Structure 1
């Protein structure tokens, strides 16, 4: 939660300080950019998930591997549900030649049901994107040390992506560098603090996670 709150606060500071939003169209564009960035973050997280979890499982003791793989199925289920929800939007926007026959077949009652399902999918997808980032795809179900580890890797990947794509081009160079590097640095610091609290309060360490 603290990682998310700090990220939103930093974005608001950058937006207000450098006047990236000056009128109502800018508000819509900024919100659209934030949604796109959140979805890209989820996609990067989904791609990073098998790598980090795979390394974690591979380095664990043989007695623990099957248990961790079984727990990972819950996170894979959340990925599947989120991707399925997002897939409904291209289908809903498909041109008439593709869907006209199906729409004629289901009639008006079917169209109403489909419309309600699309609205539900929209809320599910938006809520799911937020939950996926805050709870790091519920990878704590695998082990409590996986979410902070994933968060560290994800934050540096996204920072590199911002550098490559030239994000926040309207912001002065020094402020842009501080903002881009501040995110992974603070996420890394918070994640190590989280790991430290887990070790001190619950006796959860990397050695304990990998060895029975």
Structure 2
């Protein structure tokens, strides 16, 4: 990456959060299905918010959705090392050593996003920046305010782009093997559905509709994942058993 591209948060985000293994499969049909699933999901959620009055409190809606995203990322952060460790341990040599080397980039993407999301809270928690900070107390504080504002123009797009890419590419686990993202996505989405049940997500929505939204995501993701695994097997000769060398 050139020095000039470092000023582009999307270029840096793409380099950090997008799979880069040259021999991975590029399947346009899989990408189209994932895009349509995302669009349908957004339309469904928007319809639910406005139909059942959940959009009357925009701040509450945003808090709920960011809380759900945070739960998803935390779940993935915990699930990721366990699932990857199990996958590598199940593989036979020499695949085991190969996947262990490949795990560096997905782990780096996970660590980068964790630091990105934790940095603002860490800064406020350490007392460097608070709501009562007097930015006019000294010229240096004005310089700091300007620096924070300028950096935010890069930092915020990078963080948001990182969240989207991390969820779409499941922390670039295609760099391990093409069969890992659909497997890990299926595991993750069912875990999040269980959390939604216990946390009472979509409160105020009729039970049948609520059940549809809680189960809709895991069922649709599972269906897409199974279709993707089948397509990898039939079109590209890639299977989970082959990835494990069994």
TM class by shorter-chain length?
0.7 to 0.9
User: RMSD in angstroms over aligned alpha carbons?
Assistant: 2.4
**Cα separation, partners in 2 of 1:97 and 1:6, compared to 1, 3 Å:** closer
Residue 101 of structure 2 is matched in structure 1 by 70
2:69 is aligned with 1:38: yes
**Secondary structure, in 3 states, of the residue corresponding to 1:62?**
coil
Residue 214 of structure 2 is matched in structure 1 by 180
Which residue among 77, 82, 91 is the counterpart of 1:60?
91
- The CA deviation string for residues 69-114 of structure 1, in whole angstroms up to 9 with x for no partner, is 11111011111111121222124434757898xx979554344223
Shift of 1:47: 0.9
Residue 184 of structure 2 is matched in structure 1 by 150
Residue 42 of structure 2 is matched in structure 1 by 8
2:168 is aligned with 1:137: no
Shift of 1:127: 1.2
Residue 115 of structure 2 is matched in structure 1 by 84
CA distance in 2, matches of 1:147, 1:76: 14
User: Under a length normalisation based on structure 2, what TM-score does the superposition of the two structures give?
Assistant: 0.76
Shift of 1:37: 1.4
Q: 1:85·1:125 contact (CA, 8 Å) conserved in 2?
A: yes
Aligned length: 207
CA distance in 1, matches of 2:166, 2:59: 23
User: Under a length normalisation based on structure 1, what TM-score does the superposition of the two structures give?
Assistant: 0.87
Q: 1:57·1:69 contact (CA, 8 Å) conserved in 2?
A: yes
Residue 115 of structure 1 is matched in structure 2 by 149
**Cα separation, partners in 2 of 1:108 and 1:74, compared to 1, 3 Å:** same
Between 39-48 and 163-172, the greater mean CA deviation after superposition: 39-48
Q: 1:41·1:158 contact (CA, 8 Å) conserved in 2?
A: yes
**Secondary structure, in 3 states, of the residue corresponding to 2:54?**
coil
Q: 2:182·2:229 contact (CA, 8 Å) conserved in 1?
A: yes
Q: 1:88·1:118 contact (CA, 8 Å) conserved in 2?
A: no
Shift of 1:63: 0.5
Residue 161 of structure 1 is matched in structure 2 by 195
Residue 53 of structure 2 is matched in structure 1 by 19
Shift of 1:146: 0.5
Shift of 1:55: 1.3
- The CA deviation string for residues 15-60 of structure 1, in whole angstroms up to 9 with x for no partner, is 23323213xxx23332332222112211111111112111111111
Unaligned regions of 5+ residues in structure 1, if any?
Answer: none
